[in-house]
Structure 1
């Protein structure tokens, strides 16, 4: 009896391992096919980025394949370029994705997501460089953009700005900018820095018809939120 139980346990364990391997292999195949479709879509829209990284989440994967519906697929796009500011990384999450593995591999189906949301972070260093804000350091407190730096005759410069979304672009409006020295030439320099920062910046072209919905000045950079509904992934 003990021997039978041991044998049964080994068989169950072996089957579990084989199913796990098969599940992961199937997920990998789907990830490859979806990545190809995403890359094709990016190329057709002249969107420049590193090769897309696709991860199918959820377990068991084979159950999702059987019903032709995937709970969530993550698509990471790195080094998006083309706007005023580059986007180092866009993390997109596609939900309720419909497509069969057979249709994807044969090219007869497109993966369609009910909803896609994404987050990306714009670098403060890129913003400083693009704006020509020599000597300035930018940071965020979750509400406002903060500016500090030493700028020649004006001495120490400090300020704050709001960041909003206007017509699919990032708009920065200075609400405060002061310097330790506000003599004639220094005031002109302060005004110059104010005009350099008070601008509207465009982002690189977004895949999947993603629309810019939000922007927040975080400690790591300007965090953007994008979304789209009924999206063709590739």
Structure 2
């Protein structure tokens, strides 16, 4: 009789393991379904916000590729219930913004909105305000579009050692020369100020008139370039030359990131 006890003890243990495994599998399936549902809901909200951002861009008479929106934070559904989202990232590509005298091209504008408030009805219907506590934006203006605004045939702009550099053909006292130099770049009142104070031209005649003409050319391309009106009430804080273009950093506080309201 004593040898039969292990067989009776083994069956309850095996049943217990099977029940435990079954519960774990069930929890994993339920968890996967919840995650999937959470991501589906996030996708719907991202598309709704993208549509609203598209309207906001159109209000500024600008153009861009369809906005790419990513709602950060997990789980998404708890953020929906609270009506507050940790982060919403928006990417606008191929932005074309009208300015006085032409168009400014921004290959990509990255916008990061933090602590965004939006009710469930607003997300679902697109009516109402989606308000961000803070919005930070970074974009790069191409040197080609900037050079076109200067209106000097053959003039090119670029970056060297963190400075904006210029290269342009000129005719001074009948001599065809190439002007090179750097510019100081500042920003104020929505405009980028370009000041070309250090220009040189190899072969420049050693005459006062030649130096005066070169100085006049520097003044003629030292202009205030108006920036396109940015979406989301972004205000430009800093502009710096980089290899890929003139990088603009902007921010805003307590602003709607949709076109409603």
Report the TM-score when normalising by structure 2: 0.79
Residue correspondence of structure 1 range 83-94 to structure 2 within 5 A: 83=99, 84=102, 85-94=104-113
Partner of 1:181, secondary structure, is coil
**Is the Cα contact below 8 Å between 2:181 and 2:200 reproduced in 1?**
yes
Query: Aligned partners of 2:52 and 2:161: how far apart in 1?
Result: 36
1:106-147: per-residue Cα shift (whole Å, max 9, x none)?
Answer: 344311111111000010122223223444442224642123
Q: Specify the alignment match of 2:41 in structure 1.
A: 26
Task: Kindly report the root-mean-square deviation, in angstroms, between the aligned alpha carbons of the 2 structures.
Answer: 2.5
Partner of 1:46, secondary structure, is coil
Partner of 1:82, secondary structure, is strand
Residue correspondence of structure 1 range 3-152 to structure 2 within 5 A: 3-78=18-93, 79-83=95-99, 84=102, 85-141=104-160, 143-148=162-167
Query: Aligned partners of 2:170 and 2:153: how far apart in 1?
Result: 8
CA 103–148 in structure 1, closer or farther in 2 if over 3 Å, else same: closer
Decide which structure has the larger Cα Rg and report it. Answer: 2
Q: Specify the alignment match of 1:230 in structure 2.
A: 254
Query: Aligned partners of 1:56 and 1:189: how far apart in 2?
Result: 56
**Where do 5+ consecutive residues of structure 1 fail to align?**
none
CA 157–73 in structure 1, closer or farther in 2 if over 3 Å, else same: same
Q: Answer yes or no: is 1:161 the counterpart of 2:180.
A: no
Report the TM-score when normalising by structure 1: 0.87
Shift of 1:99: 0.8
**Is the Cα contact below 8 Å between 1:154 and 1:181 reproduced in 2?**
no
1:150-195: per-residue Cα shift (whole Å, max 9, x none)?
Answer: 6574544321111110211111011210011112697577446523
Query: Aligned partners of 2:182 and 2:64: how far apart in 1?
Result: 32
Shift of 1:74: 1.2
**Where do 5+ consecutive residues of structure 2 fail to align?**
1-15
Q: Which deviates the most, 172-181 or 144-153?
A: 144-153
Shift of 1:87: 2.4
